[in-house]
Amino acid sequence: MKTISFQYLNQAGVLHVFGPEAQSVTGLAYHSKLVTEGGVFFSIRGENNDGHLYIDEALQNGAAAVIGDSHSHLKKLSTSYPDCSFVVVKDVRQAMALLAKFYYNHVSEEIKLIGVTGTNGKTTVSSYVQSLLNLLGTPTGLIGTTGIYNSRQKIPYNKSTPTTPEAVDLHHIFSKLRSHGDAAASMEVSSIALDQKRVEGIKFDVAIHTNFSEEHLEYHHTLEHYKACKLKLFKQATCAVINLDDDGMGKDIPDLFDGPVIRYSLQQYSDADLTAGELVTSEEGSHFTLTYLGEKYRVYVPVYGTYNISNVLSSIGTALLLGYPISEILSALERLQSPEGRFQVIKAPDQTKVILDYAHTPVALTRLIEEVKKLSYDRLIVMIAGIGIRDFKKMPKMASIIEGKADEIIVTVDHPGFHEPQLIVDQVMSGFTNPESPNIHAALTREEGVRKALRLGQPNDIILLTSGCINNAQIIKGKEIPHSDEDIIKKHFLQSS
């Protein structure tokens, strides 16, 4: 329980407080069903719902305070609930972020925070950073698409969003990590999270930029807004790591950021601080020559793919900015761990290779196919998906990229949301020159798509399963339905043996 004076929220623009100006608070919630006796309810206006419609339920559950932006609605309720505080603010999301930080005793300031933004690579880079810092002796947690982890294991946590949690959850997670003894957290910071002020009031020790390309236009509507939201991360960071190879955003960050910077590049003769060249890859890992401060080092990392070497460079840059010597960093790299579902190779008994990589943008799929084609195989079978909770305009682009580059193509659905699966499949199919080609197959669920891909596979083939399956679930009509590609793969080969 914590006593809160609501004038603390003046930064969020307190317009009026009906009822008591302070309360002893037992918890914070933005979902009315999660409000408990003595809790604070934030009535957020979203794209599809208005939290003000659920205030009655929050009050029935025992809310001691309600924070919203409707003066008339809160004033009317205050006459019926005189012991409850009704706080009218200009920005409910900002108020939630500020109050969450206060409620959890500013714990975000007690740990090192590394934020990763970019269209592709956020999950991989944040995981590499967590792994590297743990190997260097700094217990580090992870917050992102693959789940919530402390420095030792995954934490059971009902995430509020696929990538960056809402502010209430985020500060709760920081508190959990700190109580576990973690000294740092590596996290994905999405453009939507930045726009919705989920990380408002947080100072990042290092902000990392991976790349920028078209994505999330179903939310941002324009590329300009998408970029502007991503750039916000660097306005609340002490140090920055910048991908010099990215034309999309790499040149914008130095214009607004004047703190310590490390720039990285895969071009050996660029003027970046960290470069990688002479790359030799295999299924087991990659060797390359790292150049830093004029010195060259031969490096091995257990990761595959040229684009992943770029991701490794960003994690090296982060460790350097946090004060670790290059010698210690290089010694740790050979034990670097990759996240699940990112160029994850599963070898089947019949020499079939199944690769899980949840590339879900045109740029990511292009890079992935380029790397897979460097491997040895008889036939390439690729599953792509239209993601129902993302921008429909990019779906045909996924089809046009893969057309002619695989022996068999399966088109399926990932997270249909409230859309009919057939509508999503049709949207992807519209990108093919010849959607009636006999090597193009449709599946109306991700499970059916995975099974179809596996059935088409033969010894020495590569089966590549792509797209954005997140949180081990499929989002269908607002609910998360459990799903695991790995479980389906294991069952398939057990039944085949």
Least confident of 52-66, 152-166, 413-427: 152-166
For position 470, what pLDDT does the model report? 63
Candidate ranges 217-221, 414-418, 430-434; pick with highest mean pLDDT: 430-434
Is the model's pLDDT at 177 over the cut of 70?
Answer: yes
For position 497, what pLDDT does the model report? 61
Cα first-last separation, the chain: 57
High-pLDDT (> 70) share of the chain, %: 98
Mean pLDDT of the region 415-440: 95
For position 169, what pLDDT does the model report? 96
In angstroms, rounded to a whole number, what is the distance separating the alpha carbons of residues 132 and 141?
11
pLDDT band, residue 389 (cuts 50/70/90): confident
Pairing of strands 85-89, 65-68: parallel
In angstroms, rounded to a whole number, what is the distance separating the alpha carbons of residues 105 and 83?
26
Dump pLDDT digits (tens) for 220-251: 789 899 899 999 999 999 999 999 999 889 88
All domains of the chain, ordered by start, with CATH? 2-100 (3.40.1390.10), 107-333 (3.40.1190.10), 344-496 (3.90.190.20)
For position 478, what pLDDT does the model report? 79
Dump pLDDT digits (tens) for 269-302: 888 999 999 999 877 899 999 999 989 999 999 9
Q: How far is CA 13 from the centre of its chain?
A: 30
In this structure, what token pair is assigned to residue 246?
Answer: 């990215």
The angle subtended at Cα 190 by Cα 184 and Cα 193, nearest 5°, is 95
Higher pLDDT, 251 or 128: 128
Is the model's pLDDT at 396 over the cut of 80?
Answer: yes
One-letter-per-residue 3-state SS of 404-459: CCCCEEEEEEECCECCCHHHHHHHHHCCCCCCCCCCEEECCCHHHHHHHHHHHCCC
In angstroms, rounded to a whole number, what is the distance separating the alpha carbons of residues 187 and 202?
12
- DSSP string for 333-357: HTT--PPTTSSEEEE-TTS-EEEE-
